[in-house]
């Protein structure tokens, strides 16, 4: 399978089978299954569906949906502020192009990581080869060793040492012309402006719809597929190329979070107030929040199974919060049943219940 498929009425009759993929509806006789992270693992998502998403759909979602949140620059800010250097460096390397711009407007390729920007060896607009000052001698020496220098090995090494000493000890404006190679070396010093651009623009709407699809299934199980237009409309947002077959309205907006500063956790809040459409809010690192509203009618018993499990009959929603884990941060996960008038109750061991 290459991409998620739309549910059909025939497939809906088999929706409660735990060995059937919730996206393509194929069975374990047809496909193998894989752990699916509801919030992407690349940013520390810990909540999982362990036997409901097949290998093909998991791979497609990872390649086409999950990565978009990494291309939202505020994710880099959050990672930097909480000090998650490992994830920050990985996201920078995989999703961003770094450049350094001179005062004259020339742009040079660069490497960026949590420590800063580093100029890469390259040719400038005049065709001259440039080396960075940091680690410059090491890079210059390796490059010169590959050149055809008109001298025996001993003299070649001495000539390379002379050039490297010039690179280390010279000041801006100084020039050096070696005896044995037709190159001229000159030291430059200029403050370069760093630029960081996503390799492609991040559009997190599909990811928010995917999180809603999987979390609503996690909460409602078979009832999720029984809500007219709910699964189909979310799938249309996850995969825009699907044929539009319903007119269910849905809005996804970025909203202001209650947290002022990033925190090492993510949260999902799903609630359905009487006579209102269901709403789901996703918060990445506590501050980067998105709000989804979908105009469908949930049955009154949508939360019944969890409400009974939690002994909280007035339940109108559920909130999840999970630490991002790793070497420095907690990976604990917690759920709260939400009731009217702001009442709530923590639910123990809901992961085991699922």
Domain residue limits, the chain: 95-196, 202-353
Give, for all 354 residues of the chain, the pLDDT tens digit: 444 444 444 344 334 444 789 999 999 889 999 999 999 999 999 999 988 999 999 999 999 999 999 999 999 999 999 999 999 999 999 999 999 998 888 899 999 999 999 888 888 877 777 877 766 677 777 777 777 666 677 777 887 888 888 877 888 888 888 777 777 888 888 889 999 999 888 889 999 999 999 999 999 988 999 999 999 999 999 997 767 777 899 999 999 887 889 999 999 999 999 889 999 999 999 889 999 999 999 998 899 999 999 999 999 999 999 999 988 899 999 999 999 988 999 997 777 554
**Tokens matching residue 161:** 């040492």
Instruction: Compute CA distances 88 → 75, 123, 193, 302, whole Å.
Output: 9, 29, 21, 39
Alpha helices per DSSP H over 182-266: 205-220, 222-226, 230-238
How far apart, in whole angstroms, are the C-alpha atoms of residue 329 and residue 166? 47
**DSSP helix/strand/coil, 45:** coil
How far apart, in whole angstroms, are the C-alpha atoms of residue 354 and residue 352? 5
Tens of pLDDT, residue by residue over 262-303, are 999 999 999 999 889 999 999 999 889 999 999 999 998 899
275 sits in the region (left: phi over 0; alpha: psi -120 to 50; else beta) called left
How far apart, in whole angstroms, are the C-alpha atoms of residue 281 and residue 293? 9
Report the chain's mean pLDDT, rounded to a whole number: 86
Closest of 263, 253, 256 to residue 284, by C-alpha = 263
- Answer for the pair 248, 290: CB distance below 8 angstroms, yes or no: no
DSSP class of 340 = G
Alpha helices per DSSP H over the chain: 9-12, 55-64, 73-82, 85-95, 136-145, 153-169, 205-220, 222-226, 230-238, 304-310, 350-353
């Amino acid at each position: 399978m290459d991409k998620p498929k739309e549910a059909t009425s025939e497939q809906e009759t088999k929706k409660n089978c735990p060995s059937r993929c919730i996206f393509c509806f194929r069975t374990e006789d047809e496909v193998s299954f894989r752990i699916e992270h509801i919030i992407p693992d690349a940013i520390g998502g810990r909540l999982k569906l362990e036997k409901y998403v097949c290998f093909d759909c998991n791979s497609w979602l990872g390649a086409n949906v999950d990565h978009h949140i990494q291309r939202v620059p505020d994710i880099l800010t959050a990672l930097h502020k909480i000090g998650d250097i490992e994830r920050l460096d990985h996201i920078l390397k995989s999703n961003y192009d770094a450049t350094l711009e001179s005062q004259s407007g020339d742009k040079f390729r660069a490497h960026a990581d949590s420590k800063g920007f580093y100029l890469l060896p390259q040719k400038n607009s005049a065709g001259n080869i440039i080396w960075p000052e940091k680690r410059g001698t090491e890079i210059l020496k390796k490059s010169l060793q590959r050149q055809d220098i008109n001298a025996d090995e001993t003299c070649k090494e001495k000539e390379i040492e002379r050039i490297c000493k010039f690179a280390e000890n010279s000041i801006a404006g100084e020039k050096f012309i070696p005896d044995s190679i037709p190159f001229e070396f000159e030291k430059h010093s200029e403050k370069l402006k760093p630029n960081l651009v996503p390799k492609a623009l991040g559009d997190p709407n599909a990811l928010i719809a995917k999180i809603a699809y999987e979390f609503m299934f996690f909460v409602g199980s078979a009832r999720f597929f029984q809500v007219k237009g709910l699964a189909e409309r979310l799938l249309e947002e996850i995969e825009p190329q699907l044929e539009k077959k319903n007119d269910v309205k849905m809005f996804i907006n970025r909203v202001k979070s209650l947290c002022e500063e990033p925190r090492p956790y993510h949260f999902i809040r799903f609630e359905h107030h009487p006579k209102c459409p269901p709403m789901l809010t996703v918060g990445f690192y506590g501050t980067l929040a998105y709000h989804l509203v979908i105009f469908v009618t949930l049955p009154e018993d949508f939360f019944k199974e969890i409400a009974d499990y939690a002994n909280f009959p007035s339940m109108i929603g559920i909130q999840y919060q999970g630490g991002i884990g790793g070497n420095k941060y907690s990976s604990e996960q917690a759920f709260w049943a939400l009731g009217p008038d702001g009442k709530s109750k923590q639910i123990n061991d809901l992961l085991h219940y699922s």
